[in-house]
Chain A
Amino acid sequence: MSEIPSELKYTKSHEWVRDEDNGTVTVGITDHAQALLGDLVFVELPEVGSEVSAEDAICVVESVKAASDVYMPVSGEVLAVNDSLADAPETINDSPYDDGWLVKVKLSNPDQISDLMDADSYATETAED
């Protein structure tokens, strides 16, 4: 059973979003996703300051076996990326919701958060996998 924190929002493509309540969000991939991928060995993050749109592939996470795209759940400007992942990509496996965060984004359209799935819907979604 994978961990699905109740205060976060989710996408079908296994990203999570934390609303920081100040017009910004933090984005990462879920416990379900990191378990599917296996040991992560490389993460490619976007440039700070870049503009992203919802459903853009903004990151690539690579396990030993394959590379996977990570899709932006919301639109906005990239404020920060998690530099520690350059030397320790496995942090995502160990702590997908905390130390393994990927990017922080300033929302261009705050309403987009309400379009995302809540924890219960995501739990149902992944139970069917």
Chain B
Amino acid sequence: MSQKTVLYDKHVEYGGKLVDFAGWEMPVNYGSQIDEHHQVRKDAGMFDVSHMTVIDLTGEEVRAFLQHLLANDVARLKDRGKALYSCMLNHDGGVIDDLIVYYLNDSWYRMVVNAATRDKDMAWIDEQSTGYDVEINERDDLAMIAVQGPHAREKAIEALPVDVVEAVSELDRFFGCDCGEWFVGRTGYTGEDGFEIMLPDTEAAAFWDGLAESGVKPCGLGARDTLRLEAGMNLYGSDMTETTSPLISGLGWTIAWEPEERDFIGRAALQKERDKGVTQKLVGLVLEDKGILRGHQTVVVEGAGEGMTTSGTFSPTLKQSIALARVPKQTGDRCQVEIRGKRLNARVVKPVFVRDGKAV
């Protein structure tokens, strides 16, 4: 059975082409995913991300719990509203999910996890919280809309309720603010500036219309994928899974090894992997021959062996095909990718393709 967000009727009204995404009926585009992509790079676009999971964690031992649960260290968050990107690992060091956690105060943190991993994540968090004085509260009363692009913040501010506007105008990058029932993070999954706005689901439809009136265009999941891949942002389930550690997923930077005494779940397994020597890495690929890179294509590296693409697409900004790929550690700056029986040439690059709307 398919689930619908509170914005479903808006998607229909605005001409969204609805498809299944992790059991939710979501718009893949509203006409042209390429137009929507350019809209976000040049102006402002909005995404319904209400299917994602918002979790409030409260209680006396919430910090200690999160320091055990997450591979990054929430102790780094000292200012109200500051956000942290982290992986949540299993005991083998594999990634259960990636997420953002906000610090509100010493007994309240808010986490946002993926839609597709909701059940698995909630079960794991519940299980791991045994013995800690924490309360876990899934906020399924909240909708979420991401407004992204160089003009996103100014246009969103035109549509936000008056009592939210002041707090939000001062918001630094990678901070969130709670304003009554609303919560606005200056975060995103597109590589552009903007907000991710959590609000009571009863107010979501009216706010969507308000954003549209301020000149923000609806954008679907298709554009979301091309934008995040251009920005070099991982997609859980493609670029990392429960059988890959952050160390081979381009996410080593999200692990806080200090302080040494912090025994987070998966630490021992990661340490073992480091001691043995990490043998793979996640890189970016730009296809030089004509074609389209997708996930699960074999990558051939002369003198080093083989790897596999994890995500691939056509980049509307670069007008070339790009991918993320897991390859042997010694891979240099060239490789070939097997597509329909042919070997096509690709350049190996750092896994970021577009920054500030332009090719890196």
Contact = CB atoms under 8 A, between A and B. Distances in A.
Interface of A: 38-39, 41-42, 44, 60, 62, 64-65, 67, 86
- Going nearest first, the 6 A-B pairs with the smallest beta carbon separation are A41-B314, A39-B34, A62-B292, A42-B292, A64-B314, A39-B32
Given A38-B32, A39-B32, A39-B33, A65 B290 contact: no
A64 B313 contact: yes
B291 A42 contact: yes
Interface string B305-341: 0000000011010000100000000000000000010
B29 interface: yes
B188 interface: no
B352 interface: no
A44 B34 CA distance: 20
Contact of B292 (A38, A67, A86): A67
Contacts of A60: 340
Q: B-side binding surface: helix, strand, loop or mixed?
A: mixed
Contacts of A64: 33-34, 222, 226, 313-314, 316
B290 A42 contact: yes
Interface residues of B, number: 16
A42 B33 CA distance: 15
B291 A65 contact: no
Contact of A38 (B33, B291, B316, B321): B33
Contacts of B314: 41-42, 62, 64
Q: A-side binding surface: helix, strand, loop or mixed?
A: strand
A80 B98 CA distance: 50
Contacts of A42: 290-292, 314, 321
A38 B313 CA distance: 14
B28 interface: yes
Contacts of B321: 41-42
A62 B313 CA distance: 10
The CB with the most chain B CB atoms within 10 A, among A38, A44, A65, A67, is that of: A65
5 contacts: A38-B32, A42-B321, A44-B340, A62-B292, A64-B226
B151 to A, nearest CB: 23
Contact of A41 (B28, B29, B292, B340): B292
A44 B226 CA distance: 22
B297 to A, nearest CB: 11
Contact of A65 (B28, B32, B316): B28
